[in-house]
Structure 1
């Protein structure tokens, strides 16, 4: 990094690198990089002027200079949301103090003529913004703000004009702060988090940590997996879901030479991708922009409030004109202009929604838009997938049963070798089961093909090998399962789920997977019922016996077994056709159609990439009781918005009447209106739920 030394004293040195040396988001990363040197005691970085201040150990001056010179900001990435959140808090407090101090000092120290000139200069910006908005054919809050300031300036009432502009500045600062906090809280949860990738080397695939991947490497990405990098397809073909980048729901065909982006998902196919950029920030920014700006993701109540806010503005001008016409009293007329409903409505509603999304993130829940909170509050039915959702997030392999010349260990080894390519809880159980038994395997099969909701097909030693459900193996692939074999399976599997392995058209063996309910699943369903969601349904591809056992344990209203993805989708659509508002909770590739069909969909943290992509909400903590937490939060959000609306209408109507009858002056009217707007916005930022915390730790601390 290039720099100039602008201050140099023993133990302390200041570098100036230039205003564009690094972005503000990298300030903390620069500081952290410098603190990794043992010679550095303290470091500060400021993006505005590229300044770096370093406190160092005695005698380490040259080492510090070499460390700063070696800095390469191109290799740094913004740190996590906790650090960003601290910086946002600090910046907000600093800006607020500056704003208040500036106004206080201006009123206390500046002579009246100079202070009035400053207010006039500031007021021109509001007036120009109003004129510009009118020229664009809009009549909204900006016009009303400009008119209010103009009326005060024309009356030479500089004190009131200054108060109005000060309150508007505070309101804008609060809104920016809330949005920034929300962005910091969501950034980590929406990041592309891939731990390992399949690196292609000399025609073979090697599983390596994501951290070891470099630009120029080639990786293999298959059906259901997220693409963790920006890159170019070097071979293969696939349908890519780019909704996270473009918002377009239909998959796009990608082949050799096509560009792919981090955060997009392979719906179908397999491709080799040459890495161009190791970053998922594009996805993060896209989703956050959608949450902030997309009309499609705003809560209906938020869109209605914003539209209402703009529609009310003309009535404020009408009230001003009528008051002036009837009373001939400019003071009373200005009192009407000083008060409007739209400002508070338009600010408080989105701030409430964004604050709720932030609060959900604090509880390990990622919500992709305000409209999903509204839908969650209104839902009366919840549909659960069973495997990996209601049941344990990590199913366990109980046993392997052989029906061929292969030993049970060989059956398990072959199954693990095939299953490891696809991210699903059952597949992970089989792979882990083989690893726990010390059964190492090598790639002996050909290209593997994932058949949604059925299983996997490949070629092993020249023979077709398939692994999956009874329906897939027996009905689709026409592999004979004799009565004796089925009886043996039922006798030995107990209540386990069964995965069938067939090689060369014959049943070779089965794997028995135990999948006990999550510890909190029963409690979660009970809480949802108390919250008013009485219709609780479970859909699963498992056997009827396994489904009924799980449903009985958890108190589920209805359960349907041996269902296919289209069956799940059809059931959700039927519920909606019957007038229900439906929440769908799932984790697998086969749940994606039903997740997309529901009014609001939820994916578990350990769900497949495509399920998380299709879902509107993700439970990052994998705790089903958070569904009840989200229900409470969404209902309280709706209550807060409606309560704010009633307060705004009532309070501002009172101010209008008091001003109309001359009981309060325009200055008082403006102060109370803006103060109430600021107060209700600040109130809209306050938590609606108890802060998530470790109760055990608190108890220990209390005892201590």
Structure 2
């Protein structure tokens, strides 16, 4: 491949190979080829001029490798591929800017180079569309914006006001382009959030052996095994195993559904508990999930309520505009004054500025590494008065440490308790299990498989057989309430004495408590300051939910400055608590990261997932934080509130300016042409102001620096 380096700033490299170097689909193939390299992060291609833009690590060695790869590519190496969601999103934005540029260029060119008669003829030609849409509304007895626009354009042409009519149609075309861009961008974001990014699956052979294979090689009729916590990549029927599957991304129901042999499962849902073997019915674009994605055509579901209200408001103003026009003519008998009123269209500015404000806010959120699935979620976040935090992994670093191991009888010593616990817990990847296994490894406590198959019960604990005896490990509620493990008064005193400030994992053998492991999960350094700032920004209620013991929860809440918390909370309790808060009239934000948070995330008014969240948490969440910094919650609040403030400010300004124009037009102070010119100019000005960033430069970083210095 021959190319020329067009730009190189150390981490971003752009080369150009010429207009006919590759097709659009071959460009996607080139991107996927380059993205196979670990040092390359993003690749964008343009078939229009053969441009390839690469974002990479930035070192000289990586750049030289990119050059070597490009030089080695031949025509035979080119292959067609599908665009990634990131590429699709970028193309939507680029196409919008290209369309907008063409509109502006054509308008300027027409005014500079075309003679007046030809310009007027073009104005009449373009006006036909708006007049036809107005007639369509009239024949259907709809008094909406289309009718007002058609009447205003027709009225201007009848009075030979070609320039005002042309300006009005130019603004309306920009508004239409913006609305189309909003819908496409929202759909793209939703598709990206629903898309399954699964590279490999476990295929079960005829002899029962499991083999890891690329997901793209799966065929109908294959049998694949899905383990606990995994996203199901296909539609199919359960033929073996037993599991609880969370279908929130498919049905919206927060509670997991029991799946046994004969039951159907769908791509995009998540196995919360158990392991199942599924016979593949359909995969890739044939799955129900992808059919749902393809059917997402109703943009109303993606719009903020504010945007929907703005459009309804625009329609509701229309009858009053016609009434004001008619009254002006009846009182003055002056068609020019009546036309001045008709040419002032409140709805044009409202319809233009509201989606612009929302698009701008969503872009700003993306710039701050926050993915928002729709404008309505930003609005909900701004209006929320209650925030509910899951403790582990959200308010803490999800890196618990073992601080003490206490035997509860003479049968086993401290090291025996830790060894047994590590032996059982090593089969699971949750943070507390990792802490126990890590501690045993650091102390050199090696173990062998002395237990049978383990069974994990979500948010409770683990059941297995250890050396032929029933062994259970988990929470106090699980052991003492569910498993009816006996505990003596001496043991109770020992627990109370040694476990006041920590979360505790209990180990029982043959129905008797044998040991406790004290776990400490220190809170994030920034968490306390983030909570304080959220309160200052209007969040009245801050609630912490945790499965920890009362003592551990109390210590964590005290360290964070939280007055309301719930301890030993089960997954179904979390969703119930959220629903109770909503029943009290509160608008609830739920912040979580784990599988057991998914019911509460699904129930909340707006759900936020953290960077290292589980697949199911990201699926259910309305907003995903792409960095591991709680300060993003503060940034998001400032951004969402600022978006609503901007929209409300636009409303006030639009009413003030256009109301003044109406009065001046009725009094005959200004003619229709001047009225239209000021109206159009003010609409454009409001549109430009709507694209301004909400967050002030340096405001967020300076806040972090101050708080960091306070911590130090």
TM-score, length of structure 1 as denominator length: 0.79
Instruction: Report the alpha carbon displacement of residue 527 of structure 1 after superposing the two structures with TM.
Output: 1.0
Match of 1:138 in 2: 142
Deviation for aligned residue 1:632: 1.9
Q: Does 1:688 align with 2:707?
A: no
Native 8 Å contact 1:171 1:678 kept in 2: no
Aligned counterparts of 1:291 and 1:604: Cα–Cα separation in 2: 29
Q: Which residue of 1 aligns with 2:667?
A: 661
1:344 aligns with 2:349: yes
1:255-270 superposed matches below 5 A: 260-266=265-271, 270=275
Partner of 2:311: 306
1:556 aligns with 2:568: no
Higher deviation after alignment, 212-221 or 597-606: 212-221
- 1:388 maps to which of 390, 393, 416: 393
Structure-2 change in CA distance of 1:498 and 1:671 (3 Å): same
Q: Which residue of the other structure, out of 623, 630, 640, is the alignment partner of 2:636? A: 630
Match of 2:80 in 1: 73
**Counterpart among 620, 643, 647 of residue 653 in structure 2:** 647
Following TM superposition, by how much is the alpha carbon of 1:694 offset from its aligned partner in structure 2, in angstroms?
10
Distance across 2 between alignment mates of 1:36 and 1:475: 51
Counterparts of 1:329 and 1:401 in 2: how far apart (Å)?
95
1:467 pairs with one of 466, 469, 473: 473
Q: Summarize the alignment of residues 200-215 of structure 1 with structure 2, pairs less than 5 Å apart.
A: 200=204, 203=208, 214-215=217-218
Return the alpha-carbon distance in structure 2 between the equivalents of residues 691 and 491 of structure 1: 51
- Pairing 1:328–2:317 present: no
Structure 1 residue corresponding to 2:108, chosen from 104, 107, 114: 104
Shift of 1:185: 7.0
SS at match of 1:562: coil
Partner secondary structure for residue 612 of structure 2: coil
Query: What is the CA–CA distance in structure 1 between the aligned matches of 2:444 and 2:286, rounded to whole Å?
Result: 36
Q: How does 1:445-456 map to 2 (within 5 A)?
A: 448-456=454-462
Deviation at 1:480, TM superposition (A): 2.4
CA distance in 2, matches of 1:446, 1:156: 90
User: Mind listing any 5+ residue stretches in structure 2 that lack a counterpart?
Assistant: 1-15, 38-42, 53-66, 706-712
What secondary structure is seen at the aligned counterpart in 2 of 1:235? strand
Q: Residue by residue, what CA displacement relative to the aligned partner does 1:3-50 show, whole Å, maximum 9, x if unpaired?
A: xxxxxxxx97765988xx73xxx845546748999xxxxx996668xx
Deviates more, 1:132-141 or 1:655-664: 132-141
5+ long unaligned stretches in structure 1: 1-10, 38-42, 55-59, 700-704
Residue 259 to residue 578, structure 1, CA distance change in 2 (3 Å): closer
Match of 1:379 among 364, 375, 384: 384
**For 1:430-469, what per-residue CA distance to the aligned partner results, in whole angstroms no more than 9, with x for missing partners?**
4555666677889886665443432233456765443310
Which string of whole-angstrom CA distances, capped at 9 and with x for unpartnered residues, describes residues 232-289 of structure 1?
6553455544443455667666566776544323355542246764689996996899
1:143-162 pair list within 5 angstroms? 143-162=147-166
Equivalence map 1:26-45=2 (5 Å): 27=27, 30=30, 33=33
Structure 1 389/619 Cα, relative in aligned 2: closer, same or farther at 3 Å?
A: same
Distance 1:177 1:490, change over 3 A: same
The residue aligned with 2:118 is: 114
* 631-640 or 603-612: bigger deviation: 603-612
Two-structure CA RMSD over aligned residues (Å): 4.5
C-alpha distance in 2 between matches for 1:667 and 1:350: 28
CA contact (8 A) 1:538 1:559 kept: yes
State the SS of the aligned residue for 2:240: strand
Is contact 2:578–2:600 with CA below 8 Å preserved after alignment?
Answer: yes
Is the Cα–Cα contact under 8 Å of residues 300 and 371 in structure 1 kept in the other structure? yes
Determine which of 457, 480, 486 is the counterpart of 1:480. 486
Q: SS of 2:271's equivalent?
A: strand
Aligned-residue offset at 1:685:
2.4
Q: CA deviation at 1:373?
A: 3.1
Looking at structure 2, the residues matched to 203 and 437 of structure 1 have their Cα atoms a distance apart, in angstroms, of: 38
Q: What is the aligned counterpart of 2:232 among 211, 227, 233? A: 227
Secondary structure of the residue aligned to 1:272 is: strand
> What's the CA shift for 1:100?
2.0
- SS of the residue corresponding to residue 73 of structure 1 reads coil
Q: Deviation string for 1:531-559 (max 9, x for gaps)?
A: 23343333323222222222222211233
**Equivalent residue in structure 1 for 2:322, among 302, 313, 317:** 317
- The residue number in structure 1 matching 2:365 is 360
Using the TM superposition, give the Cα deviation of residue 526 of structure 1 relative to its aligned residue in structure 2, in angstroms.
1.4
User: Equivalent residue for 1:587?
Assistant: 593
Question: How far did residue 341 of structure 1 move?
Answer: 1.6
Residue 138 and residue 416 in structure 1: after superposition, are their counterparts in 2 closer, same or farther (change >3 A)? Answer: farther
User: Could you say which residue in structure 1 is the equivalent of 2:541?
Assistant: 535
> Deviation string for 1:36-80 (max 9, x for gaps)?
99xxxxx996668xx9689xxxxx9xx999833443324x54264
Task: Report the alpha carbon displacement of residue 231 of structure 1 after superposing the two structures with TM.
Answer: 5.9
| SS of 1:585 mapped into structure 2 | strand
Alpha-carbon distance between aligned partners in 2 of 1:148 and 1:92, rounded to the nearest angstrom: 27
Which is worse superposed, 258-267 or 96-105?
258-267
Measured in 2, the distance between the counterparts of 1:338 and 1:288 equals 40
The alignment partner of 1:583 has SS state of strand
- For residue 476 of structure 1, report the CA deviation from its aligned partner: 0.6
CA distance in 1, matches of 2:446, 2:181: 53
Using the alignment, how far apart are the partners of 1:508 and 1:585 within structure 2?
36
CA contact (8 A) 1:182 1:354 kept: no
| CA displacement at 1:515 relative to structure 2 | 0.4
**1:218 CA drift (Å):** 5.1
- Deviation at 1:644? 1.2
| TM-superposition CA deviations, 1:600-622 (whole Å, max 9, x none) | 44333333444444444333323
What residue number does 2:60 align with?
A: none
Q: Which residue pairs with 1:7 in the alignment?
A: none
With the length of structure 2 as denominator, give the TM-score of the two structures.
0.78
Determine if contact 1:299/1:369 at 8 Å carries over to the other structure: yes
Taking structure 1 as reference, are residues 432 and 311 closer, same or farther at Cα in structure 2, changes over 3 Å only?
A: farther
Separation in 1, partners of 2:669, 2:291:
50
Classify the secondary structure of the residue corresponding to 1:498. strand
* Displacement of 1:523: 0.9
Deviations 1:294-338 (A, max 9, x none): 44x644433332222111112222223333333333322222221
- Name which of structure 1's ranges 520-529 and 476-485 shifts more when overlaid on structure 2: 476-485
**Residues 345 and 508 of structure 1: is their aligned pair in 2 closer, same or farther, counting only changes over 3 Å?**
same
Cα separation, partners in 2 of 1:280 and 1:633, compared to 1, 3 Å = farther
Alignment check: 8 A CA contact 2:391 2:545 kept: yes
Counterpart in 1 of 2:532?
526
Relative to structure 1, the CA distance from residue 331 to residue 513 in structure 2 (aligned partners, 3 Å threshold; closer, same or farther) is same
SS of equivalent residue, structure 2 residue 670: coil
Query: Per-residue deviation at 1:640?
Result: 1.6
Bigger Cα displacement from structure 2, 96-105 vs 488-497: 488-497
Size of the aligned set, in residue pairs, is 665
